[in-house]
Amino acid sequence: MAKYNEEKVLYFCNRHIGLHVSCDEPKGSDLTEIVATLLGKGQIEKLNQDDGGEYFGITKLGDIALLEKQIAWRERNGKKTSEHHRKLSELTTQGI
């Protein structure tokens, strides 16, 4: 079973320091494949690089995708979604 999915990667990219991908992360791993996919969709961006690896942050498109994924999960599991819908509405009315 994969350790990462798009929602989890977007979530970590949304944190203050972003997502760190170690330079030791094997090419073709679920993490590197998802990062490449999200970069291609414009949902994340590379923020920085150091000797240990690369840091990625979320873009507005990624914020929207993350909220949509969180809403879907919450609806499937009977959780409240009003706050997520409010944030999504704010993002989508601002334009990209």
Distance CA 26, CA 32 (A): 8
pLDDT of residue 95: 65
Residue spans of the chain under pLDDT 50: none
pLDDT of residue 94: 79
Say if residues 35 and 9 touch (Cβ distance below 8 Å). yes
Amino acid at 31: L
- Rounded to 5 degrees, what angle do the CA atoms 75, 41, 95 make? 70
Q: Which segments within 1-96 are labelled E, that is strand? A: 19-22, 44-50, 53-58
pLDDT of residue 1: 62
CB-based contacts of 83, cutoff 8 Å, min separation 6: none
pLDDT of residue 96: 57
